[in-house]
Amino acid sequence: MDNRPIGVFDSGLGGLTVVKELMAELPNEDIVYFGDTARIPYGTRSKEIVAKYSSQCVRFLKTQNVKMVVVACNTVSSCCLKLLRTKFHIPIVGVIEPGAQAAVSATINKKIGVIGTEGTISSAAYEKAILKRAPDISIYTKACSLFVSIVEEGWAETDVAYLTAKKYLENIKLEKIDTLVLGCTHFPLLTNVIGKTMGEGVTLIDPAEGTALMTKQILTENNMLNSNKNTGTYRFFVSDFGQRFEQIGSNFLGQDIECPKKIDIETY
């Protein structure tokens, strides 16, 4: 048993979609969340910068005495997981492997689409993880960077969102995929729009669900589950307060977010 908290981080508040799944799957675990709101987006930055930023995030979480780290950010998971695991001697889980696994299990016609930020798509991390499991699958990818801004702007259910989805997804739709990986923390908030644009018969995969299951598996196998029977406590940290912080945070978490503490991430 290990009663220390689980650390979770993301480039911003989008990783709260992963926290939501962790809360459901591991209700008595304590969670410390860090959102690098001062430096979002990561998705359009170089690998070197994302490596530096994500190392600082893990270093901060380690000061909070976490027992493991969940990298909620697809961009970081796609380019820096190996590096983080080498640098920090603590279990680290990313979202790519669980998302790829869920997609391979879901597809029947062996045609999978993957959408994400520019960083995630250009890394080809999902493709590699899917092909490692099933080499006969055809994969179609598309960077959909504008979706991030649309969600942050609170425009998830507007005609702007539908028009953008139509434009981004038209080629993938022509490939007749039956499974689409939502490879970015923000995209689950566009499930309606993306689902309606793709049409019936396309299963949307949110990697957050599989990530929560994998986290549970690792804690169980290593005898690291929290022995408390009460509901876990949740602490939130950010590197900057945006103007609509509470509204955006609540949207991602699906419930009101407690006021976070601000830290200076550059000092880690």
Residue numbers at the binding site for ligand DGL (CB under 6 A): 10-12, 14, 40-43, 73-75, 117, 120, 148, 184-186
State both tokens at 67: 């027992």
Q: Which of 73, 79, 80, 144 is catalytic?
A: 73
User: Within the chain, how many helices (H) and strands (E) appear?
Assistant: 11, 10
- Cβ 177 to ligand DGL, closest distance in Å? 20
* Cα–Cα distance measured from residue 145 to residue 19, given in angstroms and rounded to the nearest whole number: 22
Residues with Cβ within 8 Å of 197's Cβ and at least 6 positions away in sequence, in order, are 162, 165, 166, 169, 173
Give yes or no: 73 in active site.
Answer: yes
- Cβ 18 to ligand DGL, closest distance in Å? 9
Please identify, using beta-carbon distances, which residue of 60 and 111 lies nearer to ligand DGL: 60
- Cβ 224 to ligand DGL, closest distance in Å? 26
From the centroid of its chain, how far is CA 24?
A: 16
Please identify, using beta-carbon distances, which residue of 42 and 236 lies nearer to ligand DGL: 42
Q: Which of 57, 79, 80, 184 is catalytic?
A: 184
- Cβ 151 to ligand DGL, closest distance in Å? 9
Q: Which bin fits 130, alpha (ψ -120 to 50), beta or left (φ > 0)? A: alpha
- Cβ 193 to ligand DGL, closest distance in Å? 17
The residue whose Cβ lies closest to ligand DGL is 43
- Cβ 96 to ligand DGL, closest distance in Å? 10
Give yes or no: 184 in active site.
Answer: yes
* Cα–Cα distance measured from residue 70 to residue 184, given in angstroms and rounded to the nearest whole number: 15
- Residue 236 phi, psi dihedral angles, 5° rounding: -120, 135
Please identify, using beta-carbon distances, which residue of 101 and 117 lies nearer to ligand DGL: 117
* Cα–Cα distance measured from residue 245 to residue 181, given in angstroms and rounded to the nearest whole number: 27
Contact 124, 82 (CB under 8 A): no
Q: How many CA atoms lie within 13 A of 257 on its CB side?
A: 28
CA angle 212, 197, 146 (to 5 degrees): 70
Please identify, using beta-carbon distances, which residue of 21 and 226 lies nearer to ligand DGL: 21
Please identify, using beta-carbon distances, which residue of 181 and 202 lies nearer to ligand DGL: 181
Span between the terminal Cα atoms of the chain, in Å: 29
* Cα–Cα distance measured from residue 54 to residue 36, given in angstroms and rounded to the nearest whole number: 9
Please identify, using beta-carbon distances, which residue of 42 and 226 lies nearer to ligand DGL: 42
Active site positions, annotated: 73, 184
